[in-house]
Amino acid sequence: MKRRLVVISPCRDEERFVRLTLDSVVKQTYRPDLWIIVDDGSRDQTAAIVAQCADQHPWIRLVQRQRGGVRQLGPGVVSAFNAGLAYLGDTPFDVIAKLDTDTEFGAGAFATIMTHFDDLRVGMASGNTYLLTGDKLVFDATPPIMSQATPNFTAGNVSRISADCNRSTAGMSSTKPMPAATAGSP
């Protein structure tokens, strides 16, 4: 069963990396039904780069917001993500993803992650994060919470959440972390 996947990507001043993310998503074997990229007042060419790609791919949408002060990685990202949810409105989805726009991954990444939702007990899933250090990929154990990462931890830059889990947890909040459930949890 193909689940309807919506991806929301908050971004600000990512012209250095956003092309890598755009190319990674466009090449996916399991493409999103809709990808909402929320530009949170970039002062560089981020919005122009995204707009050019969106012109070529109708399932990619650019939402632009006014810059809201200094960049806040927690509350600012949540606010931009929630603007993407507002843009989504009543569009139905089965899985929603938050994806950072400075992330690169292989063509099968979404398909692999989406298979976890075949088990209806799974509410959240993600991949692991690795950093390119020299010519090697090294597991990202920063910030400190990542050093305690377990198979039940969903990395913030690539997390996916089922529609039911999103409703039951009231989605993202700037004051509470998103919960992660084990596959055996109800």
Q: Could you give the number of structural domains in the chain?
A: 1
Give the 3-state secondary structure of residue 118: helix
Residue 185 lies in a domain: no
Q: What is the CATH number of the domain that holds 24?
A: 3.90.550.10
Residue 133 lies in a domain: yes
Question: Distance between CA atoms of 158 and 98, rounded to whole angstroms?
Answer: 6
Residue 16 lies in a domain: yes
Residue 13 lies in a domain: yes
Per-residue pLDDT tens, the chain, 186 aa: give them.
789 999 999 999 999 999 999 999 999 999 999 999 999 999 999 999 999 999 999 999 999 998 766 665 567 788 888 999 999 999 999 999 999 998 888 899 899 989 988 988 888 887 766 777 788 777 765 544 444 444 444 455 455 556 666 566 555 544 444 333 333 333
Residue 65 lies in a domain: yes
* Angle made by CA atoms 148, 154, 160, in degrees to the nearest 5: 175
| Model pLDDT, residue 79 | 87
| Model pLDDT, residue 77 | 82
Residue 63 lies in a domain: yes
| Model pLDDT, residue 164 | 65
- C-alpha dist (Å) from residue 36 to 47, 119, 125, 150: 12, 26, 19, 29
Residue 114 lies in a domain: yes
pTM for the structure as a whole: 0.77
Nearest CA to 74 out of 41, 105, 98, 97 is that of: 98
For residue 82, how many C-alpha atoms fall within 13 Å in the half-sphere facing its CB? 11
| Model pLDDT, residue 153 | 43
For 127, the domain range is 5-168
Residue 30 lies in a domain: yes
